[in-house]
Chain A
Amino acid sequence: MAFAFAQFLTGLASASWLFLVAAGLTIVFGVTRVVNFAHGSLYMLGAYIAYSLTGMLSLGGFWLAVPIAAVTVGLLGVVLEMTVLRRLYGAPELFQLLATFGVVLIVKDVALTLFGPVDLFGPRAPGLTGAVRIFGEPIPEYDLFMIGAGITVLAIIWLLFNRTRFGILVRAATEDAGMVAALGVDSGRIFTLSFFIGSTLAGLAGALQVPREPVTLLMDLNVIAEAFVVVVIGGMGSVFGAFIAAILIGQLKAFGILVLPESTLVVAFLAMTVVLALRPNGLFGRAASGPPPAAEIAPPENLGRFGRPAAIALLISLALLPLVAEPFILVLCVDIMTLALFAAGLRLMTGPGGMISFGHAAFFGLGAYAAAATAKAGLGMVAGLAAAPLAAGLGAIVIGWLCVRSSGVYLAMLTLAAAQILWSAAVQWNWLTGGDDGVLGIWPDRWATGPVAYYYLTLAVSGAGMWLLIRLAEAPFGYMLRAGRDAPARARALGIDQRRLKWLAFTAAGIAAGLAGGLAAFAKGNVFPDVLSIPKSVDGLLAILLGGLHAPAGPVIGAAIYAALENILSRLDHWRALLGLSIVGLAVFAPGGVGGWISKRLRHRSRP
């Protein structure tokens, strides 16, 4: 009993911390409707700044460093809002997500430059270095302080939102930004202010974590996935919901570790999936009002009269490439082709389908692991390459069924959750996946061994896959899919079964990703949990963003440019920051991508 109570308090302390992070994220979302990936980076900066200040301030030390760090991060958040996010309020969620992910990369590089790569382990909080005995069990004083801090912040937010003019305006803006503007209130100011509050909370959470864990460059993505879970379970925009969700997750982890020590990472995402399956808008969330901001007008999509000759020319030159290229160029091309196939499927669901997936790596990874398992079972490469799309397709049917019931950000978060569940399972369930060790020694059959043979195999398989996907987009299926995206009510009134079409598109995208994963597995000879990670999903999204979301040739162009971009940037010292800047720039200034730009030019010229 005493033990369970102590465990409960441990869970409550980590819940408090989770709540502090998630509260800021949910406030920002509630007001601005922006899903801010960079929230984790702000949290990380809070920790770094508090650590550095603690060392510098002789007077006050840690306790003075915490508020200074929090406010500093709050101001940095304001800068972020005014320079980047303000330009993205009307943009589709995909661009917001990618742009804030670009900010993540920039901040990581800045932090690396300013604070160095070494983990920084801060001192314990002055005055709270010991433990008190509660029912005989030692409870760290700092844990009790954290519990108090969480409740205090909840109370302050409640007072702020219910007892001040600003808070009431924020709540009104959450309900209807247009109405607030009609009242003559500058909604831009409200957005900026709520960003300040959200960022300050992120900084506070980071600063308060310094006595508990080392400050590292991995804090940003480690925390953001979990914060998303809390926000989504609670209902996006609901601070109280985040509080309840944080307690739920904190306790699940505290007691889960006793029962299933190898499932600590999975638990949070499983809980989120269960909650969303029962309540698609989270515990305290409301349905997103109005249609998703598909306010952008998707351009027409077809290859145009230049498309077919260009595709044939590309195929011929790729077929002849091995005659002139060095092996490592062929290896690079294999990478580009698998990425292009992965992105092509993703484009079908994101472009014509209008569904944003932030976890498409789930299917790439399923394919890769299925190929690996088949090969390890001694069934050979061909069976492996067949198993890959099969497993990914089955996964996509199941996950897709759950996801297509939602739309917009909720759908993106559900896909993210699905990928994170699979990733956590891959990391922690060694018996199945080899964990971090991965699966090694998955090599092609003898006839396909060697850069040239495998290059031709990849060209044939991914070429066929991409041809099918382009056909699908140009077939009645693609037209009706776009119909559902452009005008859902119109499509329904024509008798189009959108949910089924979306589900099919989701599955097709999953199959393509799985096939790409299988090809990649045999190309590299190994599979690691990273194939399921957030950056892998971002790879695919970036390729289609670069190539153009609404250009059928986009994935190929995007994958190739992505490789070129890497080539140029990666040789520079601050390639992360430069890549991040490129992503932000693209999302803000060139949302049509290169493919979109080309097809626009061609269309103008082909017009009479």
Chain B
Amino acid sequence: MKYDDITEAIGNTPLVRIDPEVHGLRNIDLYAKLELLNPFGSVKDRAAWSMLRPMLGDAVRRGDTVVELSSGNTAKALALLAGMHGLPFRSVTNRMKIPEIKDLLLLLGAEIDELPGRSECLDPADTDDPLTRMYRTLQTSGEGYVHTDQYFNERNADAHFSGTGQEIVKDLDGRAPDYFVACVGTAGSSTGVARALRAHGADTTIVGLVAAKSDFIPGIRTIDEVHEVGLFDPGTYDAIETISADEAIDGLLTLVRRCGTLSGPTGGGAYQGAVRYLRTIDGSLTSRKSAVFIVCDRVESYLSYLRERRPALFGRPARANSLGSLSAGEIAGAPSVTVGASLEGCLVVDLRSSYAYQALHIDGSINIGEDVFETMLSAGLPFSRRQPVVLVCPVGEKSAAFAALLTRMGHPDARSLAGGIIAWRDAGAPLVRD
């Protein structure tokens, strides 16, 4: 397929049937709308392009900055679209919690402004919502901008009315599905698709999924936060259900491990929420039904999110010569040298960070940060057994562990500076800068 412009590749995503072996529903065909296959990687490509396109002419002529309140996929799509047209993009956010996404946006050339957190000592006069703060920041900056306003812009929902929704009906041979399940973020996709299905005369049951109040699932609003969204209309949904981060991750794992679909947590939540909802109906059905959910984006940006919540998923075999393999007894028995003893002829290795070393250190010592040092040791001793070594860390704990490890690896004279460099300083021994 040949395109003149990457934006032509937005939309027309596949609708893929989920193997009944996986979801276990007997009377319902469950389909995934694979929005992760949009060119920038998410369902937001449609909304971003729909919202920005009519503003582009003027924005390019004036050289405006494109701004949006976004913590993820909308920002990513807008950054790429703005970049294609030579415009700067700025994302203003107080919700961006995923480090990979921040780094990716910076790589794409976006600017990110993080708004201040709540005040510890209450200032009752300070009741601005993030949007008001963003407008104020922009007004004081004096530069020109266009704001795509995804939470209130009808073109967000329109993109899904004319695109996503129609595509689903077409792919189901002209019949709207009986059930449609979507997570609610800006409410753009669920609102737009619902309108399209209803315009088609279908009596589709629309299920909106929100996060539990104290939970965090990227791209999904909590039950309270949805009320801050201009596009959100409770009347759109036949049911609004809560989904937990745990369920979203379970769903994500099913999609990535069993369905060949590299879904992120939002898509995982939609899958899990759909199956949970449909299971309650499945047994009582007398005719064949169909259901569709949306896979919003891709898994790769959420590795740290997953690692934090399910560390076991990333379990790796222990490295050779790792500190973790030492017993408390080995560490307690590590050879040490007290402050004041001669270090003559010893290689002094300072295990602290390079900034700390550069600020002040023991004269003649060399700096190998503990992380690097541990990596080096996994391959074997990085110095001769004949070279006496003294290890230095802040309080003598880390250095004792490393001295124990070197001893176990067969080094005959590796010692830890007892009490560390803090004891050294407290004893009035000299510290230098080079």
Is B a genuine binding partner of A?
no
| Interface set of A (CB-CB < 8 Å, partner B) | none
| Interface set of B (CB-CB < 8 Å, partner A) | none
